[in-house]
Chains A and B, each alone.
Chain A
Amino acid sequence: MTGREPAAGDPVMAARLLRLAAREVADIGVTIHEASVHATAALTDGVLMRAPVRGYRVQRALLHALTNRRGLGYAVAGGRLGALAARLGGMTGAESLSILVLATSLRLRITAVALVHPELTKDPLLARLVDAVGADRDVESLRALRALLKDRGAVRTLSELAPVFGEVLALRALLDENPLNDTAAWLIATGKGYATADPITGMSNRVIAVLDVGEGAARRVELDPAETGRLGSAGSLVGFLRNIGVIGTTGRILIQSVTGPDGTVRHVVQVPGMSPGRPDNDSPQDLLGAFSSAVLDSSPYSRALIKAIDDFGIPRQAELALIGHSAGGAAIMNLAQDTAFCARYTVTHAVTVGSPVDFKRPADPRTWVASVTNQHDIIPTLDGQGAGGCFDLHPDWYVVDYSDATHLFPICHSIEHYTANIENDLPEARELIDDRLTPYRGPVTRSQVYLLFDQLSPDPSAGPGSTA
């Protein structure tokens, strides 16, 4: 007897224990990888390579350790030579023990998610795909994916896979023969950073993100009377989210001043997500802007936000709360982690909704961060961490990762859907965030909308591309 109650009857507890186990297994995978790197460093050390005859037995022992299928597997790793050899090994399908152990960690994560999302195992098509990926059966994986796409279409397939999207992609990338996606898979599996590449093709995210250029610009614009009438007149979380819904994904953002319960005037920056249309137009709210805001620490979107905030006329050191949806959440987190910005203003709160922000870090440790995500929303998982995440990436944040009956993307990603969930289905989260936002819960004394641009337009009458 251990005194512990079996967790089998409690799916939530069982999922938590499985995620804990997955984390420990991932740690073990990292330890094994480090041993492989050390052995590779010894093998490729010039000291041994310069004495091939005298060092023959040593080199043979090291080579055996690094290629023994019953031990470390094909485990050459680290350094230039190691990386090249690892890629060659990956192309031949030769796997290392550390990769296999990380794959086990990912499979435990998927098992954990399936306990609270039983549709993943009860749905035969989904279960077939997840099983095939986990068992490293390439042809079967592709057949299962094709069957799923044919039966459900791309949108429903993505929506239904969303809770395990990162894990499935990482598992496939770890075990496939494409060496270019291994780093991204490794980052997802170990939780050590933003997936730096597309886990399918291995194409670098940063290469795409740096295509989004511009110093950022902002111009004051007026709302039409109907929109103005729908803006909140007092500060609250739901009110701020409704405001984001009012200004929509039109290239605009809203800054409001509120008088808090203590009589102090504070300011709330409310930032929507990506606008539909051309992937690259002259607004930072385009697809490229969403990408760069998520991947990079500074983007045209965050730089344009700074221009708007500076123009609003906020006194130095005044207190700001930043509220962002989707790509807007990534953009406001870029402000929160900008040391120069945080030296000018005091960012007290950053609240993100449906945003991939797991690897953002506020510059000021006093900034209170809340992240609200729907487990069927694919967008927050684009940094590689989703419902199956087993790493305590930010223990000081308030994280709400919930599930509701609406599994269909993009509906579950819309600001209206998140607002309704927070208002009606997540009372505890709403009350807690509102409680933390108390200094901002007072009458709105000023509202100003800004139209954002990637860069200053030579023609002041020009609008931001397709959103004009």
Chain B
Amino acid sequence: MPAVPDAIAVHAGVLRSDARALVECAERLREIGARLDEDGIAPQWLRETVAAHIAACAAASDDLAEAATRLRVHAARTRR
């Protein structure tokens, strides 16, 4: 039954890619905050808000990477 492990492996691949995308999101948020700071137009609330979003993106990336790993392992076991 290769269809089942294949389907699980597809989810693993997508989530692995999303984990990387979340790291990029954190980096993009950092750049946006720094750019507005440099331009002197960042509203007072922005720094704290962006810092919170960056931390959340990093945590979400770790969570998705962990889920992707579990999915990959599960797919491999199902294949056996």
User: Which residues on A are within 8 Å of B, measured CB to CB?
Assistant: 2, 4, 6-8, 14, 17-18, 21, 24-25, 28, 31-32, 34-35, 38-39, 41-42, 45, 47-48, 51, 54-55, 57-58, 61-62, 64-65, 68, 70-73, 97, 100-101, 104, 107-108, 111, 134
Partner of B63, one of A6, A24, A68, A104: A68
Bound together, the chains give a CA A105 to CA B31 distance in angstroms of 15
User: Which residues on B are within 8 Å of A, measured CB to CB?
Assistant: 4, 7-8, 11, 14-15, 18, 21-22, 25, 28-29, 32, 35-36, 38-41, 43, 45-46, 49-50, 52-53, 55-57, 59-60, 62-64, 66-67, 70-71, 74, 77-78
Bound together, the chains give a CA A345 to CA B63 distance in angstroms of 57
A28 & B29 in contact (Cβ 8 Å cutoff): yes
A17 & B36 in contact (Cβ 8 Å cutoff): yes
Partner of A32, one of B7, B32, B60: B60
B71 & A32 in contact (Cβ 8 Å cutoff): no
Closest residue of chain A to B49 (Cβ to Cβ) is A104
Across-interface contacts of B32 in A (CB, < 8 A)? 21, 24-25
Bound together, the chains give a CA A97 to CA B46 distance in angstroms of 16
Bound together, the chains give a CA A51 to CA B39 distance in angstroms of 54
B53 & A100 in contact (Cβ 8 Å cutoff): yes
Across-interface contacts of B70 in A (CB, < 8 A)? 57-58, 61-62
Closest residue of chain A to B60 (Cβ to Cβ) is A71
Partner of B39, one of A8, A39, A47, A55: A8
Across-interface contacts of B40 in A (CB, < 8 A)? 6-8
Across-interface contacts of B14 in A (CB, < 8 A)? 38, 42
B28 & A24 in contact (Cβ 8 Å cutoff): yes
Bound together, the chains give a CA A83 to CA B73 distance in angstroms of 29
Other A-B pairs, 11, CB within 8 Å; known A38-B11, A57-B74, A58-B67: A17-B35, A17-B36, A17-B41, A32-B25, A32-B57, A35-B18, A39-B64, A54-B74, A61-B63, A68-B63, A104-B46
Number of A-B contacts defined by CB within 8 Å = 129
On whether A35 and B22 interact (CB within 8 A), knowing A14-B39, A61-B66, A104-B53, the answer reads yes
- 19 interchain pairs, CB-CB under 8 A: A8-B40, A17-B39, A21-B35, A24-B28, A31-B21, A32-B22, A32-B60, A34-B21, A35-B21, A42-B67, A42-B71, A47-B7, A48-B8, A58-B8, A65-B66, A68-B60, A68-B63, A71-B59, A100-B56
Bound together, the chains give a CA A101 to CA B28 distance in angstroms of 12
B20 to chain A, nearest CB (A): 10
Across-interface contacts of B29 in A (CB, < 8 A)? 25, 28, 101
A8 & B41 in contact (Cβ 8 Å cutoff): yes
Bound together, the chains give a CA A72 to CA B26 distance in angstroms of 12
On whether A73 and B45 interact (CB within 8 A), knowing A28-B28, A42-B11, A64-B63, the answer reads no
Partner of A65, one of B4, B36, B50, B64: B64
A7 & B62 in contact (Cβ 8 Å cutoff): no
Closest residue of chain B to A22 (Cβ to Cβ) is B32
A58 & B74 in contact (Cβ 8 Å cutoff): yes
Bound together, the chains give a CA A31 to CA B50 distance in angstroms of 16
B72 to chain A, nearest CB (A): 10
A247 to chain B, nearest CB (A): 46
Bound together, the chains give a CA A2 to CA B50 distance in angstroms of 22
Closest residue of chain B to A100 (Cβ to Cβ) is B53
On whether A31 and B25 interact (CB within 8 A), knowing A39-B18, A54-B74, A65-B64, the answer reads yes
Central interface residue in A28, A51, A65, by most chain B CB within 10 Å: A65
B59 & A61 in contact (Cβ 8 Å cutoff): no
On whether A38 and B18 interact (CB within 8 A), knowing A32-B25, A68-B63, A104-B53, the answer reads yes
A2 & B38 in contact (Cβ 8 Å cutoff): yes
B7 & A38 in contact (Cβ 8 Å cutoff): no
On whether A18 and B36 interact (CB within 8 A), knowing A32-B25, A42-B11, A58-B71, the answer reads yes
Partner of B8, one of A8, A47, A68: A47
Bound together, the chains give a CA A381 to CA B45 distance in angstroms of 26
Bound together, the chains give a CA A301 to CA B36 distance in angstroms of 46
Closest residue of chain A to B32 (Cβ to Cβ) is A21
Across-interface contacts of A14 in B (CB, < 8 A)? 39, 41
A18 & B41 in contact (Cβ 8 Å cutoff): yes
B19 to chain A, nearest CB (A): 8
A172 to chain B, nearest CB (A): 17
Bound together, the chains give a CA A62 to CA B38 distance in angstroms of 39
Across-interface contacts of B38 in A (CB, < 8 A)? 2, 4, 6
B57 & A97 in contact (Cβ 8 Å cutoff): yes
Bound together, the chains give a CA A25 to CA B63 distance in angstroms of 22
A54 & B15 in contact (Cβ 8 Å cutoff): no
B7 to chain A, nearest CB (A): 5
Across-interface contacts of A24 in B (CB, < 8 A)? 28, 32
A71 to chain B, nearest CB (A): 4
